Amino acid sequence: MADKNSGTTDLSAAQAAAQAGSKTEDNPIPAGTKPVEEVNREFQEKSTLKRAKELGLPYIDIARTPLNPDFLKIIDIQDAKEGRIIPFFSVGKKVRVAVDDKNNPETKKIIKKLEDRGYDVNINLASSAGIDDALDIYDSSQVYKKKKIVESVEEKDIQTYEKEIADLADLPEKLDKVTAEEGLNLINIGAMKTKASDVHFEPEEETVPVRFRIDGVLHKVFELPPKIYSKISEQLKYQSGMQLNVATIPQDGRYVFIFNKRKVAVRVASIPTPYGEAFVCRYLPAGKKFLTFEELGFQGLALKKLEKASNISQGMVLVTGPTGSGKSTTLYSVLSKMNNPENKIITLEDPVEYYMQGVTQSQINEKKDYTFANGLRSILRHDPDIVMIGEIRDLKTAETAAQAALTGHVLLSTLHTNSAIESIPRLINMGLPPFMVAPALNTVVAQRLVRRVCEKCSTLEPVSESEKNEFKEIFENLKKVNPGTEVEVPEKIPKVHGCDACSNTGYKGRVVIAEVITITSEIKDLILNNSSSVDLIKAARKEGIVTLREDGFIKAAQGVTTLEEVHRVTNVAM
Ligand SMILES: [Zn+2]
């Protein structure tokens, strides 16, 4: 079986690795090939060879034949899939193809197409499993091919596109006049221009609303008539490598395009609905510059503690918060601080969100039983200094993670809790004994994202009486517990309006509000003594912490965000 994750077209190398059952350093995903499969496969190849002799056709072990992308291009990927046909050699107008059933009407159709194009077609028989493997390889070489196509969107084209979509509301009209491929390009560029993180196509009975997530909030930007939507959705499925003829089950795909000389990977997920397939496209810019803690929004005590946590040589650092609170961005920033040639860093993610140079990143694969818990165990065999795992959500993972943190590794991960201190009872409730939690845990960050006010259109307005009281209550309490804190109730705070620069949302960009707790020896003792959350909070308070809400109010007083935003993200329970 070919190793799909290697992205190589050199089948023999991938196969050799799979056969040896080895896991390369760069890709610690187990190959998952079982000896019994090997035996079955050998048997299949032998019987195919026999069948070829009977039919008087040459036999080819296509899975062991290196596939040349130039030859693959002779047949379009969709045709290759439908006709189960792989071109593997060509000179001039002569082409050798592998098929698993030369009488399959779809296969015949594609061969006829080739002949119509003037090709002299030499048919070779291959096993069905071999064709499947070769099609997978063909698929992975598509990423490369797509990149080529979209690269033709040059700087000047982008400028034209930008003018075209000056008003996104006009987009449906434009989409009616262009090819599906250009249409999807227009939507992608619209998403890039508005800095959307994802685009949602949500078909209804008579129309298809398209929503962009900008700064974490979904906005409906336009609606597509079903006729145009079907064109765009087909293109989306084709481009992301989904099965075109399947519309009743969810599918996942991926493609890459270039925007302003930067590679952007798009993860596409489809969901069947009564009115057609809905899609969510997530944009993942590559070569991303990882933000500093200050740029993310950490300040004061939280910043100091986080910087200290980035210099530890062993222990567990957790970032907590609900989905969409920017946990992984913070983890990546911690990781990029720790990323130097002396440190061996391995990550286990679901999925890999950004690529980081010098770091071995792997992705969990539930189907291959490469879960967080199993993956972490195999990662530890590679002797890393620092391990990042996407999330701790079960006891097995928590145990392995704590063990790693107790045996000289730095372990970074996320946990789904509302506050920093809650992560302690959460780990204990998962079943991790206090005697492991206490020594393993080093630092816990709880965070949310609030939107920054748009600098172009926001105005400073006097605080109302009720707002003043809110600030007073929060700040007086904060000063009581952290006497050194310099905070004042503001005279004026920002109010948002909306302009072209912020797509009329009033906000532009986001900033973290956070609370960071260092697990001091006093807190460790409390954990060991099964103390209540109240006592834990008291101890953390004594050590000096600024809570999420307090940090939010400080940022509102600084004019970075609004009180509405702070309430929006700190009031919701998960
Ligand atoms: Zn604005």
Q: How far is the C-alpha of 3 from the C-alpha of 14, rounded, in Å? A: 6
How much of the chain exceeds pLDDT 90, in percent?
A: 50
- Superfamily grouping for domain 293-571: P-loop containing nucleotide triphosphate hydrolases (3.40.50.300)
Q: Between 458 and 214, whose confidence is greater?
A: 458
Longest dimension (CA), the chain: 92
Cα of 195 vs centre of ligand 1, distance in Å, is 14
What pLDDT is recorded for position 538? 92
CA-based nearest residue to 201, from 275, 307, 103: 275
| CATH 3.40.50.300 in the chain, residue ranges | 293-571
Q: Ligand 1 mean position to 471 CA, how many Å? A: 25
Taking 60 as the threshold, does the pLDDT of residue 356 lie above it? yes
Q: What is the pLDDT of residues 442-453, one digit of tens each?
A: 999 999 999 999
pLDDT score for 167: 62
Q: Name residues whose C-beta falls within 8 Å of residue 205's C-beta, 6 or more positions apart in sequence.
A: 275
| Residue 565 Cα to ligand 1 middle (Å) | 16
State yes or no: pLDDT of 22 exceeds 60. no
pLDDT at 14: 37
What is the rounded distance in angstroms from the CA atom of residue 260 to the CA atom of residue 333? 24
Percent composition of the chain: helix, strand, coil (DSSP 3-state, to 5): 45, 25, 35
572 Cα: distance to centroid of ligand 1 (angstroms): 26
The mean per-residue pLDDT over the stretch 460-485 comes to 92
Residue 574 has pLDDT above 60, yes or no: no
* Tens-place pLDDT, residues 494-512: 999 999 888 889 999 999 9
- CB-based contact 506:455 (threshold 8 Å): no
pTM, to two decimals: 0.58
283 DSSP 8-state letter: E
Strands 441-453 and 459-462: unpaired
Nearest to 81 by CA among 61, 53, 110, 60: 110
Residue 549 has pLDDT above 90, yes or no: yes
CA distances from 508 to 193, 288, 328, 452, 548 (A): 13, 19, 20, 6, 21
Q: What is the distance between the alpha carbons of residues 51 and 60, in angstroms, rounded to a whole number?
A: 12
Could you report the per-residue pLDDT of 276-291, keeping only the tens digit for each?
899 999 887 665 678 8
* C-alpha 193 – ligand 1 centre gap (Å): 15
**Each residue's pLDDT tens digit, 188-198:** 888 887 888 88
* Strands in 202-336 per DSSP E: 208-214, 217-224, 251-259, 262-273, 276-285, 315-320
pLDDT of amino acid 354: 74
Residue 155: pLDDT band by 50, 70, 90 thresholds?
very low
Determine the distance separating the centroid of ligand 1 and the alpha carbon of 453, expressed in angstroms. 8
Confidence of residue 566 (pLDDT cuts 50, 70, 90): very high
* pLDDT value, residue 330: 95
Distance of alpha carbon 62 from the chain centroid: 33
The Å distance, Cα 371 to ligand 1 centre, comes to: 44
What 3-state DSSP class applies to 118?
coil
Residue type, 30: P
Local confidence band at 38 (pLDDT 50, 70, 90 cut-offs): low
Q: In what order do the strands lie in the sheet with 276-285?
A: 217-224, 208-214, 196-201, 276-285, 262-273, 251-259
- Cα–ligand 1 centroid distance for 26 (angstroms): 44
- Assign domain 4-151 one CATH number from 3.10.180.10, 3.40.50.300, 3.30.300.160, 1.10.3660.10: 3.30.300.160
Q: What 8-state DSSP symbol labels residue 310?
A: T
CB 88 within 8 A of CB 65: yes
Report pLDDT for 285: 67
- CA-CA distance, 439 to 350, in Å (whole number)? 27
The pLDDT tens digits for 55-109 are 999 999 888 777 777 778 888 888 999 999 999 887 778 889 999 999 999 999 9
Centroid of ligand 1 to alpha carbon of 493 (angstroms): 16
pLDDT, position 142:
52
Tell me how far apart the alpha carbons of residues 230 and 225 are, in angstroms, rounded to a whole number: 9
Residue 17 clears pLDDT 80, i.e. is over it: no
Residue 530 clears pLDDT 60, i.e. is over it: yes
Say which residue, 197 or 318, is predicted with more confidence: 318
Ligand 1 centroid, distance to 460 Cα (angstroms): 13
Cα 461 to ligand 1 centroid, rounded to whole Å: 16
Range list for CATH 3.30.300.160 in the chain: 4-151
In the chain, CATH 3.30.450.90 covers: 155-285
Q: Which residue has the higher pLDDT, 335 or 259?
A: 335
Residue with tokens 């009209």: 173
What would the CATH number be for the domain defined by 155-285?
Answer: 3.30.450.90
User: What is d(CA 108, CA 397) in angstroms, rounded to the nearest whole number?
Assistant: 51
